[in-house]
Amino acid sequence: MAKSNTLVFFCLLSIGLIGCDHAPDRSKYGVRLGGTQAPVPGANGDSRVPDGVLKSTAALTGPTPLRRLTNNDYINTVTDLLGDISSLNIQLAKESSSLVYPFTNHATEQYVPTALANQYFGAAETIATATFKDKSRSDKILICTPVRGSEETCATNVLTALATKAFRRAATPEQISGLLDIWRSGFKAVDFNTGVEWALAAVLQSPEFLYRIEMGTAQAAPGVVALDSWDMANRLSYLIWNSAPDPILMDAAKNDKLKTVAQVSAQVDRMLAMPAAHDMVIHFHDQWLGLETIEAVQKDPKTFPNFNKTIALAMRDEVRNFVDDAVWNGDSKLQTLLSGHYTYLNKTLGDYYGIKGLGADFTKIGEDKLGGRPASGILTMAGMLAVRSNANDTSPTRRGAFVRSAMFCQAMPNPPDNAIFTAPVSKPNMTRRELIEAHATNPTCAACHNLMDPLGLAFENIDAAGIYRDKEAGKTIDVSAELFSTDVDGKFVGPSDLASKMSTSKTVADCVAKHWFQFAYGRDPLAPDANFVKEISTRLTTTGTISAIKYLTQTPQFFYRTVSEGAK
Amino acid sequence: MKRIPLSRRTLLKGAGGVAIGLPMLEAMEGSADAAAAGQKKFISFFSGCGVTGETFFPTGTEKSFTLPGSVTALTKYKDKMIFFNGITNASGNDPQYGGHQGSHVGMISGSPFVLSADVADPDHYEKMRPKGISLDQKIAQKLHSPGNKFASLQLGVMNRPSGNNFDIAASFTGEKGLLLPEPDPLAIFKVIFQDGATSATDTAAADLAHQKRKSILDFIKGRYTALNARLGADDKARIDQHLTSIREIEQQLLAATSASCVVPSKPASGITPEKDLDGYAKLQFDLLAAALACDLTNVASLTWFGTRGGDFNYKNVIKGVTITGGHHGLSHNQGDTPQITAINNYIAQNITILMDSLDKYKTSTGGSLLDTTLILWWNELGFSNAGHESSPAPFVLAGGNGGALKMGRFLDYTSKKQSNNNLLLSVYNAVTDSTESTFGDPRYCTGVLPGFA
């Protein structure tokens, strides 16, 4: 099935939906759906958790640390509030992530050093100034016309509406009074609009904007409270859209209609049909698969003269197109992500791989049309393997380490303090396999490298710059490999075999489930969360990823909040 | 050539007051006092990718010595320098890790590196992070006064690398505390001098920006304080830190209003090292000198390109020697000593230009800002093209310590080796008037350098 034009990266960004009432219609990755609503897979047979069961498990909620907007959330939220800001070049400090926690939303790691506070400050000023330089933008905020002599009445209305939207819950009198103080300074010093501009700059760095502050309602278990509908609107929108609630969710919150599983499920189904939900799935995979740094990847120009940033970005888009298809079309199962025998290519990437006859848009291509190049889901994607290579040669170690840590959730230890980082010395006509087997001869190295190298050697048919090859140093490449210390141990040949093994591995499914838990809840799962992670894992391999995402909105972790010690 | 005050500037004269002349404004020289009387300043000058020891370390005695090819340019200020030999990079000279990065951290902090769990890349080099605190940051903790807008500044004469930020970091406070240099003169100018004004002459705009920022800061401080009151201990720790950060911004803002200072001309945009390295470096030096003279800060670090990925190809600026590649690449080759020598002498020449910039801020008593500013020039490799080793470590001191340190010397410890921790401790004690007994990882520190003070 051709899917041309489905993903047109970045060119849709400029179609600003300023102050649009259906902001999540925008997709920053250029996802475009046919029609206004797309069918949501995995809905059939998707049992809903009854409210009563939820209440009885409320005590298993686990910690709910205060979460700050990730940089991605921040840009999306500002965009939904004020319109496209991509031309403003907003810089926020790089967030930390790791192979075992690949997402930038780890709540307890979200500190704000002075440098970041300065960036928030500068960004707020820049955005506020730009908003009031463009009448089409400021008009969306200036909802009334000030009357000479009683400007404050209009200012109060403007700031109440602005704060409610930006803080994503009904603004309090205390907040409005503080914002009016700022407005008065600007109004006296310059004019009405300047006052609002200054207040907007303050709104954009308030804790109510930068953090997801939850209030909660009645106690559901000792130390555990149910969310109020505003809390729920925010949890839903930041999970499914990585952005602020839209007007429909805000209305539901205002009318307190986000209390039951049925009410929440109806919103979830509606929300999953929007392009921003596709963006969220892409964002998960970008981070999980470590593709966010692909722009910075450089290859030795002598060995790989055709590799450049355009190619690197096209490789990332290949993964995104494939992921979007595997998750939203067809069975949505994890097995398809790992082993689907197809990919998406366009002319740029086709020319680079040596596959002819492709158009400008990414199109679905079966493995049989790839001229020998293996296609086994995300595992064989050039982008995945090029990121985990050296500048002039592959790195079975890094490729193997990635599969181990990201997909089996087995953290690879750092090399011991007495490790010698001398690269093995290459001799003429030596293959990478022969070279890397040096690790196995040194018992100190072998202990860990046996977990990585034999696994990584399965990918040797894709070189350091993502090109298919069947020979190296004049010899036919051997892609036989072996897995140790997993639940699917044994010898295998090439990535397709590996994918088959991984598709039956419970460890892999549990690992991906753990990553979805992290992505959804901003923390690592703990012992009381085990059953919920297990259910996510089951769904990933039976009813599929979208079904697992739905389940994430039906757990006690999602419906309740733990009141930590000392909190009010 | 503007002589424009910051907002609410008052040009104070006499005891305790300061009046600052512009580096470019020769007419002002001799009539303006430099930064707050006697206030000591410190600059950490990091140039990456290595020197070749055979042409870097002087020969001779403490008072009578000869400068070899890598540092002949420093002859101009020979009586304002201290050269060293026989300093070992004790904590960073691990022969197994060796090379640029392992040495880099140890050199300026006296502590080894750690492999960060935060870096999502199994490549060992990408994971390297500092464990200790860099000398400039340790000094900044002591020299920072409420009157300074910034505890320290980090500038760069370099290109922004696309890869590892670690390669360009001269300042850090620990594994997660890299303070990265700003290479853009215009960005530095805006941060340190302009305070919201659209042009250097726009004092009304600066005053308005100040009023705006004060009202915004008052509001957000109130919001974070209110939030803090209802949080549990774990969340509170994070919001406390956010609030502290906001208070630091506030302090920068308030300090700016009381600064008595003359700002230099606004730099043009789009200057790059490739287009005009000499002009670009001079701009950064002038901004740095003005920031120190204006008491906006007492401590700065300057990264003159970085290690590894932060390197530079000097082929267009070095005359007389053909440069065949980037500094990093050359540092790995045997036999490239003439090129490495020429590169380092070019950097040495630029250090004299920085010293010129400082020297233009004259005091009424006949001295200059250079007499109270101590510059430590350091580099991560002492013998780049032999064993790629960091020891003997290439350290040079320049400028002055307010008369409290005798300059114009060569301290040769080759027969009785001293660790770089001892050197860092000596500099720390001298600049901050302290009597500490150890610096960095105490395993490598035995005390101040003999005969230093």
If one compares A429 and A123, the residue with the highest pLDDT of the two is A123
What's the whole-number mean pLDDT along residues A481-497? 93
Q: Does A205 contact B119 at a Cβ distance shorter than 8 Å?
A: no
Nearest alpha carbon to residue B348 among B387, B318, B371: B318
What's the whole-number mean pLDDT along residues A429-454? 78
Residue A397, chain B, CB below 8 Å: the answer is yes
Q: In chain B, where are the structural domains located?
A: 4-199+262-444
Q: Is there a contact between B183 and B160 (Cβ–Cβ < 8 Å)?
A: yes
Nearest C-alpha in A relative to B222: A178
SS3 at position B354: helix
Residue B233, chain A, CB below 8 Å: the answer is yes
Name which of A178, A190, A414 is nearest B219 (Cβ-Cβ). Answer: A178
Lowest-confidence range among A188-192, A267-271, A448-452, B369-373? Answer: A448-452
Name which of B119, B208, B233 is nearest A189 (Cβ-Cβ). Answer: B208
Shortest alpha-carbon distance between residue A420 and chain B (Å): 5
If one compares A8 and A92, the residue with the highest pLDDT of the two is A92
Which of B216, B251, B332 would you mutate first to test chain A, the one with the most A CBs within 10 A? B216
Provide the pLDDT confidence category of residue A463 given band limits of 50, 70 and 90: very high
Helix and strand counts by DSSP (H, E) for chain B: 10, 17
Shortest alpha-carbon distance between residue A333 and chain B (Å): 26
pLDDT score at A211: 98
Residue A216, chain B, CB below 8 Å: the answer is no
What's the whole-number mean pLDDT along residues A411-424? 61
Provide the pLDDT confidence category of residue A473 given band limits of 50, 70 and 90: confident
What percent of chain A clears pLDDT 70, i.e. is strictly above it? 89
SS3 at position A363: strand
- The interface predicted TM-score (ipTM) is 0.89
Cβ-based contacts of A198 with chain B (< 8 Å)? 212, 215-216
Shortest alpha-carbon distance between residue B378 and chain A (Å): 25
Q: Which long-range contacts (C-beta less than 8 Å, at least 24 apart) are formed by A137-144? A: A137/A18, A137/A19, A137/A82, A137/A83, A138/A193, A138/A196, A140/A18, A140/A19, A140/A82, A140/A83, A141/A19, A141/A82, A141/A196, A141/A200, A142/A193, A142/A196
Residue B224, chain A, CB below 8 Å: the answer is yes
pLDDT score at A143: 96
Residue bearing tokens 């930590």: A564
Residue A412, chain B, CB below 8 Å: the answer is yes
- Which residues 57-96 of B are in CB contact (within 8 Å) with A? 96
Residue A323, chain B, CB below 8 Å: the answer is no
Residue B309 CA, distance from chain mean position: 20
Q: Does B212 contact A185 at a Cβ distance shorter than 8 Å?
A: yes
Residue A405 has pLDDT above 70, yes or no: yes
Cβ-based contacts of B230 with chain A (< 8 Å)? 567-568
What's the whole-number mean pLDDT along residues A177-181? 98
pLDDT score at A502: 96
Nearest C-alpha in B relative to A95: B118
Q: Does A397 contact B115 at a Cβ distance shorter than 8 Å?
A: no
Cβ-based contacts of B224 with chain A (< 8 Å)? 207
pLDDT score at B193: 72
Name which of B123, B218, B231 is nearest A66 (Cβ-Cβ). Answer: B231
If one compares A24 and A497, the residue with the highest pLDDT of the two is A497
Helix and strand counts by DSSP (H, E) for chain A: 25, 11
Residue B248, chain A, CB below 8 Å: the answer is yes
Residue B120, chain A, CB below 8 Å: the answer is yes
Max CA pair span of chain A = 87
Q: How far is residue B129's CA from residue B136's CA, in Å, rounded to a whole number? A: 17
Q: How far is residue B101's CA from residue A315's CA, in Å, rounded to a whole number? A: 31
Q: What does the block give as tokens for B377?
A: 């020039």
If one compares A530 and A294, the residue with the highest pLDDT of the two is A530
- Which residues 189-208 of B are in CB contact (within 8 Å) with A? 208
- Which residues 51-90 of A are in CB contact (within 8 Å) with B? 63, 65-66, 68
Shortest alpha-carbon distance between residue A113 and chain B (Å): 6
Q: Does A117 contact B245 at a Cβ distance shorter than 8 Å?
A: yes
Residue A21, chain B, CB below 8 Å: the answer is no
Q: Does B120 contact A118 at a Cβ distance shorter than 8 Å?
A: no
Name which of B115, B215, B242 is nearest A182 (Cβ-Cβ). Answer: B215
The 10s digit of each residue's pLDDT in A220-245 is: 999 999 999 999 999 999 999 999 99
What's the whole-number mean pLDDT along residues A152-181? 97
Q: What does the block give as tokens for A313?
A: 């970005």
Q: What is the count of residue pairs from A and B with beta carbons less than 8 Å apart?
A: 139
Q: What is the pLDDT along chain B (453 residues), one digit of tens a residue?
A: 233 333 322 222 222 222 232 333 332 332 234 466 678 999 999 998 888 888 999 999 999 999 999 999 999 999 999 999 999 888 765 544 456 666 788 899 998 888 776 665 555 566 777 889 999 999 999 998 877 778 899 999 998 765 567 788 899 998 878 888 988 888 888 777 765 444 445 567 777 888 999 999 999 999 999 999 989 888 999 999 999 999 988 887 766 543 445 667 778 777 889 889 999 999 999 999 988 988 888 999 999 998 876 788 999 999 889 898 888 878 776 668 889 999 999 999 999 999 999 998 887 777 899 999 999 999 988 776 656 677 788 999 999 999 999 999 999 999 999 999 999 999 999 999 999 999 999 999 999 999 998
Provide the pLDDT confidence category of residue A419 given band limits of 50, 70 and 90: low
Q: Does B123 contact A398 at a Cβ distance shorter than 8 Å?
A: yes
The 10s digit of each residue's pLDDT in A526-539 is: 999 999 999 999 99
Q: What does the block give as tokens for B371?
A: 């007499």
Shortest alpha-carbon distance between residue A98 and chain B (Å): 4
Task: State how far the alpha carbon of A218 is from the alpha carbons of A120, A237, A297, B35, in Å.
Answer: 35, 22, 51, 61
Q: Does A290 contact B120 at a Cβ distance shorter than 8 Å?
A: yes
What's the whole-number mean pLDDT along residues A34-53? 63
Q: Does A298 contact B163 at a Cβ distance shorter than 8 Å?
A: yes
Residues in chain A: 568
Residue A112, chain B, CB below 8 Å: the answer is yes
Q: What is the mean pLDDT of chain A?
A: 88
Q: How far is residue B145's CA from residue B127's CA, in Å, rounded to a whole number? A: 35
- C-alpha angle A261/A266/A267, rounded to 5°? 100
Q: How far is residue B221's CA from residue B244's CA, in Å, rounded to a whole number? A: 9
Q: Does B212 contact A201 at a Cβ distance shorter than 8 Å?
A: yes
pLDDT score at B123: 57
CATH number of B4-199+262-444: 3.40.720.10
Shortest alpha-carbon distance between residue A146 and chain B (Å): 21
Cβ-based contacts of A106 with chain B (< 8 Å)? none
pLDDT score at A408: 95
Task: State how far the alpha carbon of A507 is from the alpha carbons of A407, A533, A538, in Å.
Answer: 8, 12, 11
Cβ-based contacts of B215 with chain A (< 8 Å)? 181-182, 185-186, 198, 202
Provide the pLDDT confidence category of residue A27 given band limits of 50, 70 and 90: confident
Q: How far is residue A19's CA from residue A514's CA, in Å, rounded to a whole number? A: 36
A466 contact partners, CB below 8 Å, separation of at least 6: A307, A311, A315, A352, A353, A382, A383, A385, A386
Shortest alpha-carbon distance between residue B385 and chain A (Å): 17
DSSP type of residue A227: P
Residue bearing tokens 């910034």: B150
What's the whole-number mean pLDDT along residues A201-208? 98
